[in-house]
Amino acid sequence: MNTFTIITALITISALISYINNRFIKLPGTIGVIVVSLLLSLLILFTGKIFPDAYAFIKELTSSIDFTQTLLDIMLGFLLFASALQFDFQKLKEQRYPVLVLSTVGVIGSTFIFGYLLYWATGMLNVELPLLYCLLFGALISPTDPVAVMSVLKKSKVPSSLETIIGGESLLNDGTGILLFVILKELAASADAHVSFSHTVALFSQEVFGGILLGVISGLVAYRTMKRVDDFQIIVMVSLSMVMVISVTGAMLHVSIPLAAVSAGLILGNTSLGTKQSEDMQRYFHNVWHLIDELLNTILFVMIGLQIVLMPFLKNYWLTGLFAVAFVLVARALSIYLPSLLLKKSLKTTYKGITILVWAGLRGGISVALAMSLPESPYKEIILSGSYFVVLFSIIVQGLTLKRVVNRMVAA
């Protein structure tokens, strides 16, 4: 299946699913999209023998898409730039301490808590999954997904301070998650692999600081270019080009593309383009990127829903998947509560605040993409299946009930 056919099919299916959700099911935006696409995938699986052509087409379509590369190397830069563009840097600065702690200490703590809990559970279930792979699972599932989080936060009424913490954490915890994932992946790839402290520091510096530096430079260059023109078409093209350059350059330099996109988005979203641009033009610029964000979000969640056609092994690991869902919530609660003891003034240590932070920590396509990037091993299927269980529960159950949880906590 050629590239144009894939794009045509994805956009057409996305439009159809969005129409069905908007016209009949009426669930909130992206949540409704993933629910309908999931139901469509299950219908195709169950009726595969009755409608073999439809099953074959969807299977060929999903097989033709490199989900990991498409999301991490192409779509994610656009999605995170669009999200960061709308983010208030001043609010982020006010909540910098809890955001930094949760995006570093919180992710590390959650990884190890989840890993050891899963190792204990798989031992009881007589499922073979070494501790190193349990920790690897924890590393890819612990960071909250900025795409899923930001799409749900837009529709919720989370208190302003907590919304900033949740959104800021999701935008910045990528560096810690990638560092842990890469290190554990190297250890899992070879029993003789040795990761020294100096190697860890170098890898962290390259991924995190390299990504931030790339984003700052790209953002400043784009800002100075856009400031000197008053043509809206040029402004939009410069911003699109900048995100593409970040994606290509980030992949070549092996630095964090998400952190680079976030850095550039924060710069362009919190600076004025100057006197040549009217307020209307700046508002149109943000609206264009909001539209791009919504379109790509829809396509991404359709892709997540359709991927289940390629995962017939989900039924083999449903019990492990349920344990993974529970352990993710426990690990997140503990990884928030323990650091919050050191940040009593900055981070709400009340039951209400922790409950909202835990329930709003959604996982999404990034976790699935990282799981798919794992090298072939006897343990890849169980990690990929478990990731899918967590992501579906996170987006559908947590996403649909977040508003209710927030209202109950605020009213209590």
Q: Are 348 and 54 in contact (CB under 8 A)?
A: no
Instruction: Report the pLDDT value the prediction gives residue 342, as an integer from 0 to 100.
Output: 67
How many CA atoms does the CB half-sphere of 212 hold within 13 Å? 10
- Lowest mean pLDDT across 93-102, 282-291, 306-315, 386-395: 306-315
Cβ-Cβ contacts under 8 Å for 141 (sequence gap 6 or more): 114, 324, 328, 363, 367, 386, 387, 390
Q: Full-prediction pTM beyond 0.85?
A: yes
- Any idea how long the chain is? 412
DSSP 195-233: --HHHHHHHHIIIIIHHHHHHHHHHHHHHHHHHT---HH
Each residue's pLDDT tens digit, 215-232: 999 999 999 999 888 888
pLDDT value of residue 228: 86
pLDDT in tens, 11-35: 999 999 999 999 999 888 888 999 9
**Percent of the chain, pLDDT > 90?**
48
For 51, left (φ over 0), alpha (ψ -120 to 50), or beta? beta
Kindly report, residue by residue over 110-147, the tens digit of the pLDDT: 999 999 999 999 999 898 999 999 999 999 999 998 88
Share of the chain above pLDDT 70, in %: 93
Which pLDDT belongs to residue 313? 63
How much is the pLDDT for 85?
93
